[in-house]
Homo-oligomer: A and B are copies of this chain.
Amino acid sequence: MSAKQIITAFANSPDRGRGLARDMRVRWALEEAGEPYDVRLVSFAEMKEPAHLALHPFGQIPTYEEGDLALFESGAIVFHIAERHAGLLPRDAKARARAITWMFAAVNTVEPVIVDRSMIVLLERDKSWYAERLALAEGRVRVRLGELSARLGSADWLDGAFNAGDLMMVSVLQRLGGSGLIEEHPNLAAYVARGEARPAYKRAFAAQLAVFKAAT
């Protein structure tokens, strides 16, 4: 990799250093790849300004810059890193296609129901419908977790060795932390713990925590 890789992250992470912001996925992938990177912190106001919108049309983090290449979307950035380094995507073409399938499953089938639950908890706590809606949303999360748990079974990872599909899925599941929902499936709880035990994950987590501590 010739050009220096630069990512963006929250100047003030709303999760207070818990590592749930989407820059963690990119940090983790870069650590798995053994790639150095710089981080540019952006405030919530800066995220909606033209300079950042040129990098990220939806005004979010993370973004990724490498010379004159600019990308956004954590899934796409992780995929870009994974394509260029050993260890994040299988070499076998069929196993690689299945790993990419799990990346999409993480962001398009599992993450939406989890984000819906988080949005209710964050934004609808004072609404008359809060309890009923939360129960409905948690029901939808439970369906997905049951299906995922059944597929994972007693395996360590979703399809063979750890790959970018697991990186994305573990990251998505972490957003249920504190809800007790993951713990209903011991194999999923162990799966998340297995991801968090990886040295690359720990380095990435420490790096984002340092940003939070420096800001407070």
Point out residues on A near B: beta carbons under 8 Å.
Answer: 53, 57-60, 68-69, 71-77, 79-80, 94, 97-98, 100-101, 103-105, 107-109, 111-112, 115-116, 127-129, 132-133, 144, 147-148, 150-151
A130 to nearest B CB, angstroms?
9
Q: Are A97's CB and B112's CB within 8 A?
A: no
Kindly identify which residue among B60, B79, B105, B115 contacts A73, using a CB–CB cutoff of 8 Å: B105
A91 to nearest B CB, angstroms?
15
Complexed CA–CA distance, A75 and B102 (Å) = 10
Q: Are B109's CB and A108's CB within 8 A?
A: no
A117 to nearest B CB, angstroms?
12
13 A-B pairs in the complex with CB atoms less than 8 angstroms apart = A57-B147, A59-B147, A60-B109, A73-B108, A75-B104, A75-B108, A76-B103, A77-B101, A107-B108, A108-B108, A112-B112, A128-B129, A129-B133
Complexed CA–CA distance, A129 and B129 (Å) = 6
Complexed CA–CA distance, A100 and B128 (Å) = 41
